[in-house]
Copies of this chain bind each other. A is one copy, B any other.
């Protein structure tokens, strides 16, 4: 149980975390700050936060848990704004989709205050951004990855684990490096491909007619192409090395498929499709076990 949650960045992710903690009875009071005063005010009107703070630093003052839910590219500036109030015993977390850049920024800015920071990436989201879409159930049934450092305070790491588990997440731990390699493959590259594919279809002369014929397969394949441009600009930029590596792998597989198509080699094409289809058919999204924590 926490006395006060400080949310820096009252958007979908930060707002949903506040609502989830309230719903679970894990926090007495939520204080929130957003760069735009209108957003902070809106968060208060919607009952997502109880108190509007006038700065990031003021959202930290008096809080025993702080969630930094700003775009990844704004994380370092946020650390700088709050570093004087990063006290031992207070749990600081972020929600960024990339972790090496966040960890690097934390090392640079927080220094001796680094142990208070537990880097976190909840695997949850919506295609709609903003505090209006904040949802107490956004994180329920999802995975959250913690990428602690050698210096991370074990007590705070346990607290972080407990709070995510309490709002229904399965909690995993790994290094920031492994995290970024994995998410380049299973999240960042699919977004890049979906953006590229949707633009390629939409921008061609007959694109409008083509789009009117698209069915459920297309709908699901392109769903993530509607993701927030600011968030994804930052993700693609900050993890670009791993993403470009994964894109190379993808291009090689695509080349192989197109090669057998050009050759007219039906048998080889069927073999390649069968590999993909059977692997996909046997894959299932991980669901948290009862109790959540592992």
Contacts and interface: CB of A to CB of B under 8 A. Distances in A.
Interface of A: 73, 123-125, 127, 142-143, 145, 172, 181-183, 185-187, 189-204, 206-207, 209-230, 232-234, 236-237, 240, 243-244, 246-247, 249-250, 252-254, 256-258, 261-262, 264, 266, 269-270, 272-277, 279-281, 283, 285-286
Contacts of A286: 212-213
B237 A269 contact: yes
Nearest to A255: B196
B199 A186 contact: no
A234 B189 CA distance: 28
A250 B191 contact: no
A277 B227 contact: yes
8 contacts: A181-B210, A182-B213, A183-B213, A198-B280, A200-B252, A223-B280, A229-B273, A236-B261
Nearest to A279: B202
Nearest to A128: B281
Given A143-B215, A187-B214, A190-B197, 7 more contacts: A186-B201, A187-B215, A187-B217, A187-B218, A203-B275, A227-B277, A229-B277
A215 B285 contact: yes
A223 B214 contact: no
Contact of A193 (B186, B211, B254): B254
A149 to B, nearest CB: 20
A120 to B, nearest CB: 14
A285 B269 CA distance: 30
A125 B200 CA distance: 25
A265 to B, nearest CB: 9
A142, A216, A264, most chain B CB atoms within 10 A: A216
B253 A197 contact: yes
A217 B221 contact: no
Given A185-B204, A218-B190, A276-B195, A283 B211 contact: yes
B186 A218 contact: yes
| Top 10 A-B residue pairs of the complex, sorted by shortest distance between their CB atoms | A186-B214, A196-B254, A233-B270, A195-B276, A225-B280, A226-B280, A229-B274, A200-B253, A220-B220, A229-B273
Nearest to A181: B206
Nearest to A209: B182
Contact of A186 (B210, B225, B261): B210
Contact of A253 (B185, B196, B224): B196
Nearest to A216: B285
Contacts of A233: 266, 269-270, 273
